[in-house]
Chain A
């Protein structure tokens, strides 16, 4: 039996938490920061965050290290040759699918 009241309150507080995490800094740092060092940190931060989110997390994402590494390698190669976001994603998903099918039916 699901406790709907508790669930509802939990969902509301959760949404509020996520929203405040995004909104408070957005408003608090409205004025442009002039400090060159802080500006530099903020300029590099997006790449730093995405990089550490990607690796090593990617190797576990499909539950099979081999298919994840092959799929990701394909994405890296295509991205290196400046292919569009959609084709990079599509090729990568397709490769993982093929490897997974191979693993399931031929190994």
Chain B
């Protein structure tokens, strides 16, 4: 499906523009990762390799802590799997929204750059998502992920700790900027968000369950709320999965 008057290049450039906020948001997170690696006395190349081959903050931090605790191989792989299991659902979602003409090779390449924030921004697209747009979104965030890690590893030690602490909120502020306008626009989305948060908070109060990895709780809460909402407010099939207002 070709959008009227939109060339591949225009799609790519539009993606690059929409990716800029993510790129800025990533710098501090990547920076924090670079600092964490150097604080644990690991070499800079390890921080860079991890950042550029994984491109996922949560798993990188989790794995770093395990490696530093002397755990390797299967322990790390298992943790990474659990922490990033959400990508299974997210990739399914994204996969359904890609244009039909996006082939297997492009999908394999695109998967490498599939991170939370790019996913969320890509899903705001009306209608189907072109691969060019997605690559546009991913370009600068990936570069800033690398640069941030490098800077953190090299000069991390000299910045006051309060600066790093302040940047911790960036990710969540970005989530608010995505969720709130969507909730304003659509009642079912507001409903989904509310249920998801209520279930997640409730799970954190249940004995035993509250000690499970946080991602598992997130997955359970998100899964239940999406199912409940899908039953209550089914989307219009002809509207390319646009949610009802």
Taking Cβ atoms with an 8 Å cutoff, the residues of A that contact B are 2-3, 6-7, 9-11, 13-15, 17-19, 21-30, 32-34, 36-37, 39-58, 61-64, 67-68, 71-72, 75-76, 78-80, 82-86, 88-89, 91-94, 96-97, 100-101, 104
Contacts and interface: CB of A to CB of B under 8 A. Distances in A.
Contacts of B169: 58, 61-62, 67-68, 71-72, 75, 92-93, 96
Given A44-B189, A46-B120, A75-B169, A6 B179 contact: no
A51 B80 contact: no
B235 A21 contact: no
A29 to B, nearest CB: 4
Closest 9 pairs between A and B when the two form their complex, measured CB to CB: A40-B230, A92-B173, A85-B21, A79-B180, A23-B111, A15-B53, A25-B91, A48-B222, A75-B173
B179 A47 contact: yes
Contact of B166 (A7, A9, A100): A100
B241 A39 contact: yes
Given A47-B179, A54-B179, A29 B92 contact: yes
Contacts, number: 299
A35 B184 CA distance: 27
A36 B234 contact: yes
A18 B107 contact: no
A43 B167 contact: no
Contact of B59 (A18, A23, A39, A91): A18
Q: Is the interface of B mostly helix, strand, loop or mixed?
A: helix
B5 interface: no
A48 B114 contact: no
B96 to A, nearest CB: 6
A23 B95 CA distance: 10
A94 B95 CA distance: 37
Nearest to B56: A18
Interface residues on B, range: 35 or more
A40 B177 contact: no
Contacts of B178: 50, 85
Contact of A61 (B20, B46, B168, B219): B168
B72 A32 contact: no
A22 B163 CA distance: 32
Interface of B: 20-21, 24-25, 42-43, 46, 49-50, 53-56, 59, 63, 67, 72-73, 76-77, 80-81, 84-96, 100, 104, 107-108, 110-112, 114, 116, 119-120, 123, 162-163, 165-184, 188-189, 192-197, 199-201, 204, 214, 217-219, 221-223, 225-227, 229-231, 233-235, 237, 241-243
Contacts of A41: 226-227, 230
A78 B177 CA distance: 8
Contacts of A3: 72
Given A22-B112, A46-B123, A89-B24, 15 more contacts: A6-B73, A13-B76, A17-B84, A21-B87, A36-B234, A41-B227, A43-B242, A48-B226, A51-B194, A53-B116, A72-B169, A75-B169, A80-B181, A84-B177, A92-B176
Contacts of B112: 19, 22-23
B162 A100 contact: yes
Nearest to A63: B165
A64 B219 CA distance: 26
